[in-house]
Amino acid sequence: MRILATLLALGVAPAVQPAVVRAEPFQVQVERYLLPNGLVVILHPDHRLPNIVTELSYRVGSRDERPGRTGFAHLFEHLMFMGTEAVPNGKFDSIMEAEGGQNNGATSEDRTYYFESGPSNLLETFLWLEADRLSTLPDGMNKAKLDLQRDVVKNERRQSYENRPYAKMELVLPEKLYPLGHPYHHPVIGSHRDLSAARVSDVTAFFHTFYVPSNAVLIVAGDFDTARAKTLIEHYFGWMKQVPEPTHVEIPTPPPLSKTEIVTLTDAVELPKVTFAFLSPAWFAPDDAECELLAALLGGGKFSRLYQRLVYERKIAESVEVEQRAMQGSGIFLISAIARKDKTAADLETAITEEVERLRTAPPTDREIERARAFLDVEHLREIESMIGLTEAIAQFDFRFGDPSRVPELLSRYQKIGAPAVATVALRVLSKPHLIFRVVPR
């Protein structure tokens, strides 16, 4: 069954296609408890492989930044790797890598997290390293460290957005879609001006506000002894004092756009690209699952509507991509296409508009929805098949609902949604005023 779902997602037609393709049900067994200092601990034992993953997730993202300090949450993620007195700069990586471990971190609009992965015997090492920088990082912070990582983040902005083909749109998108003052108005990477303005005092204040046990979730997943893990967690984290959880920024519902706006950007590219951007539901809010199915129906694999029409039949696009990009407080529904060599941005814009309008006269069929479900099943199973991916899914559900056992809903929430519901949501979301980005060759 899973092989068939994979074939469908990749656009390979098997000899016989059944009427229904469904993912096998699964469960995620977790134990969740609270330390006296407010740290949430989640344990997920899995002894199939001798590996361990730890993740320390903080409820802070770019939405929590104050004016004039955009990009600060992401900058701070980099600073967390600058070393402490016990583990100087560079040692955090070398200590675990010497024993086969790895680590990384990521920042989004809503959350920042750090994870370690490696052989099971590294559990205590991982916990010690995370506890050390949580408790002592500000003690060794100075301007030299801040300047170094400030330049790294600026260079990341240049490489990932300013000088990457078609990526400039990502810097403009939130500013155009969310009004000034909204927590999602600015990109996570921030601006050069605000990064330059950051001071050491800003860093230490940010740390003492958000990097406290009461604002964090520690997850241990993989091959470990539960009793020993609890003892180690108590030893390394239990002594930390309780600090009140910071006040979290509320995410207001963004106002609808007053009219459809076309934004033209020039870039060092050979082919034009067009992107339609619509305000859509937040992650796991009502209609989010329908938007996921709609995205798969329109752009999920070679059987999708837009691929069939724009790439295969009309031959005006090199590629298409459709995404329901859902955050904690809002979402963005994106439809993108890159033109073929002899086609223009206007050609793409007209074709996408026609396909969106065709949802009215030719609404989704049951067969299309079944195929979209199969595509999403494969996508989510790929996300959580590794212990690192599953650990991050556990963290997301705890952040959103305080209930990490709900991870199986990544798949099960689509099963009861029929074609009429997807058609209704499609008309509701895609009929609103929206943004049209045209990225054209310089």
**Among 80, 75, 72, 74, CA closest to 56:** 80
CB contact at 8 A, 190 and 266: no
Q: 């730890």: which residue's tokens?
A: 54
**Strands ordered across the beta sheet of 435-441:** 261-267, 435-441, 273-280, 331-339, 317-326
- The whole-number pLDDT of residue 164 equals 96
Whole-model pTM above 0.85? yes
Question: Could you state, in order of their start, the residue ranges of all structural domains in the chain?
Answer: 31-237, 253-441
Q: Is residue 192 scored above 60 in pLDDT?
A: yes
How far apart are the C-alpha atoms of 28 and 50, rounded to whole Å?
Answer: 18
Model confidence at 149, in pLDDT bands (50, 70, 90)?
A: very high
Q: What is the pLDDT of residues 194-233, one digit of tens each?
A: 999 999 999 899 999 999 999 999 999 999 999 999 999 9
Model confidence at 14, in pLDDT bands (50, 70, 90)?
A: very low
Q: Which residues contact 227 (CB under 8 A, 6 or more apart)?
A: none
Model confidence at 26, in pLDDT bands (50, 70, 90)?
A: confident
Q: Evaluate the CA torsion angle 439, 313, 319, 389 in order and state its sign.
A: positive
CATH 3.40.50.720, domain 31-237, yes or no = no
358-365: average pLDDT = 95
Kindly state the percentage of the chain with pLDDT values over 70.
Answer: 94
CB contact at 8 A, 281 and 302: no
- The whole-number pLDDT of residue 237 equals 98
Model confidence at 21, in pLDDT bands (50, 70, 90)?
A: very low
Model confidence at 17, in pLDDT bands (50, 70, 90)?
A: very low
CATH 3.30.830.10, domain 253-441, yes or no = yes
**Among 177, 437, 195, 219, CA closest to 329:** 177
CB contact at 8 A, 287 and 425: yes
Mean pLDDT of the chain: 93
Neighbour-count burial of 24, counting CB atoms closer than 10 A to its CB (0-12 exposed, 13-18 middle, 19+ buried):
exposed
180-193: average pLDDT = 96
Q: What is the pLDDT of residues 309-353, one digit of tens each?
A: 999 999 999 999 999 999 999 999 999 999 999 999 999 999 999
CB contact at 8 A, 150 and 196: yes
Q: How many other C-beta atoms are found inside a 10 Å radius of the C-beta of residue 379?
A: 17
Kindly state the percentage of the chain with pLDDT values over 90.
Answer: 91
369-396: average pLDDT = 96
Q: What is the pLDDT of residues 39-57, one digit of tens each?
A: 999 999 999 999 999 999 9
97-101: average pLDDT = 94
What is the per-residue burial (b if ≥16 Cβ within 10 Å, else e) of 322-353? Answer: bbbebbbbbbbbbbbbbbbeebbbebbbebbe
Q: What is the pLDDT of residues 130-140, one digit of tens each?
A: 999 999 999 98
Neighbour-count burial of 20, counting CB atoms closer than 10 A to its CB (0-12 exposed, 13-18 middle, 19+ buried):
exposed
- The whole-number pLDDT of residue 442 equals 87
Q: What is the pLDDT of residues 281-309, one digit of tens each?
A: 999 999 999 999 999 999 999 999 999 99
Q: What is the pLDDT of residues 386-407, one digit of tens each?
A: 999 999 999 999 999 999 999 9
**Among 338, 214, 334, CA closest to 267:** 338
164-189: average pLDDT = 97
Q: Is residue 9 scored above 60 in pLDDT?
A: no
Two tokens, residue 55: 């993740």
- The whole-number pLDDT of residue 25 equals 64
142-171: average pLDDT = 96
Q: Is residue 5 scored above 50 in pLDDT?
A: no
Give me the residues paired with residue 273 across strands.
Answer: 338, 439
101-120: average pLDDT = 97
- The whole-number pLDDT of residue 2 equals 37
